[in-house]
Structure 1
Amino acid sequence: MCGRFGLIPTHSELAELFALLDLEPFPPRYNIAPTQPILMVMSGEPREPGSNLPNRRSLLVRWGMLPGWVKDPKKFPLLFNARSEEAAEKAAFRAAMRHRRTLVPASGFYEWRKDGPKQSQPFWVRPKNGGIVAFGGLMETWSEPGGSEIDTGAILTTEANADLAPIHHRMPVVIHPQDFERWLDCRDNEPRDVAALMRPVQPDFFEAIPVSDRVNRVANVGPENMEPVEPKPAPARNQKKTEMPADEQLKLF
């Protein structure tokens, strides 16, 4: 899953990678949480004749999707993740998966390894080579009864690759730069045409760095959230095998 992430590149780095001309300056963000605004990149209006830049625009959306048919958001669950394997069929994501696929720029994300009922170890998961990563996202505009509109979104997830599976069984979908245009083109590419892009990222793409539990609190928004620490020792697992009674063993033959 992806319940927290960070975005700390410079404005120029972000604008260059995603070919954005409308990107407003932004401060670094070290602990982005659901319900907060997140940056998304979508397909936009055609450029002026002669421009070789792709048609893209940036927008800020509420992290937590509200489908257009929701009547009362207070009674609707917070959909900040969408399972990529089901998104094209689920009522909450089906329309966005067909018409409003997005890219979510990030410097990395946080994940927690459960070491017991009351113990967990947070990790800052970032690209090994540094830089910016793009998660697959979905956007939906929800209209309030009064007529105002709210842009909302979710991050797509897939099965964790072998590197991250020991920490958590899910991870964000990663869209590589060479696939940006294909992913964002909802006019010519239906969900089935981009299904191959929603697979676990290749091994060795990410590195997982143990960090302190400061990141557990949304109020902690400084760069110290990403500083490496000595990981908490995982509790010893009971390896003792239970002997099967002799009379039960006989039933197996």
Structure 2
Amino acid sequence: MCGRYSLSASSETIVEHFQLLRQLRFQPSYNIAPGQKILSIVELDDQSCKAVKLFWGLVPSWSKDAKNSSHLINARAETVREKPSFRSAFKHRRCLIPADGYYEWAKNSDRKQAFHIHRADQQLFAFAGLWEQWQHETETLYSCTIITTAATELMQPIHDRMPVIIPQDRYHQWLDKSANPEQALALLNDAAYTDMTTTPVSDWVNNPRHDDERCIQMC
């Protein structure tokens, strides 16, 4: 799964990496948790990319209320086309979620060890995401979820699931609203994990209120 991640890059770096047309106001965070509004990249009708803030915890458009959104922080790649909560978004509302690392916890005897999973060169990457618009009377909520898949050999000792990472040269293909769903599904592979590494970190990150560089420091 993916329940916590980091995005500490500067606004300028994010703008350049995702080729955004506008400058960005962004506050870096080392400990992003579900229920927050998170930075996401969507494609406009002219195929340019725009950064938006989406609530992490997808609320399907047909939901009666938004109370259970926290249960949909992840969508499984294996069933994303068929699940009623995700199938429409998978066809029409795919997004990228910028990150420079994410956290997972491995069970070691009587305790859990936190790991920060990141690129070996410490550079930005992007999770495959879906977004949705929920509206009831005068209330509107834009929300998102992160797609996960089976763990690679790198990740298996830590967890059996991992977030899907879209390679940078496939960003447009993933965001393309006109793409065939089969083409989009083919992008949900683990190719980007060849550049990833894992770093054991301290229990400081366990508390989502802790948001500083200590979260990513090797223990």
Specify the TM-score bucket, using the shorter chain as the normaliser.
Answer: over 0.9
Alignment partner of 2:167 out of 176, 179, 189? 176
CA RMSD of aligned residues (A): 1.4
Contact 1:134–1:176 (CA under 8 A) maintained in structure 2: yes
- What TM-score does the superposition give when structure 1 sets the normalisation length? 0.83
SS at match of 1:2: coil
CA drift of 1:75 comes to 4.8
Contact 2:165–2:193 (CA under 8 A) maintained in structure 1: no
Look up the match of 2:15: 15
Q: Deviations over 1:72-122 (max 9, x none)?
A: 222566200100111011000001000000001001100000124x51000
Are the structure 2 counterparts of residues 195 and 45 from structure 1 closer, same or farther at C-alpha, using a change threshold of 3 Å? closer
Q: Map 1:115-154 onto structure 2 (within 5 A).
A: 115-116=108-109, 118-144=110-136, 146-154=137-145
CA drift of 1:191 comes to 1.8
Contact 1:113–1:168 (CA under 8 A) maintained in structure 2: yes
Look up the match of 2:198: 208
Larger gyration radius, structure 1 or structure 2: 1
Look up the match of 1:113: 106
Contact 1:66–1:152 (CA under 8 A) maintained in structure 2: yes
The gaps in structure 2 that reach 5 residues or longer are none
Contact 1:142–1:150 (CA under 8 A) maintained in structure 2: yes
Contact 1:214–1:220 (CA under 8 A) maintained in structure 2: yes
Instruction: Give the number of the structure whose residues are more often strand, by fraction.
Output: 2
SS at match of 2:67: helix
Look up the match of 1:224: 214
Q: Deviations over 1:184-239 (max 9, x none)?
A: 1022x12211222101235542111111111111111111111100xxxxxxxxxx
The gaps in structure 1 that reach 5 residues or longer are 47-53, 230-253
- What TM-score does the superposition give when structure 2 sets the normalisation length? 0.95
Could you tell me how far apart the structure 2 residues matched to 1:75 and 1:219 are? 22
The one-letter code sitting in structure 2 at the alignment partner of 1:102 is C
SS at match of 1:214: helix
Q: Map 1:240-251 onto structure 2 (within 5 A).
A: none
Deviates more, 1:119-128 or 1:15-24: 15-24
SS at match of 1:73: coil
Contact 1:161–1:201 (CA under 8 A) maintained in structure 2: no
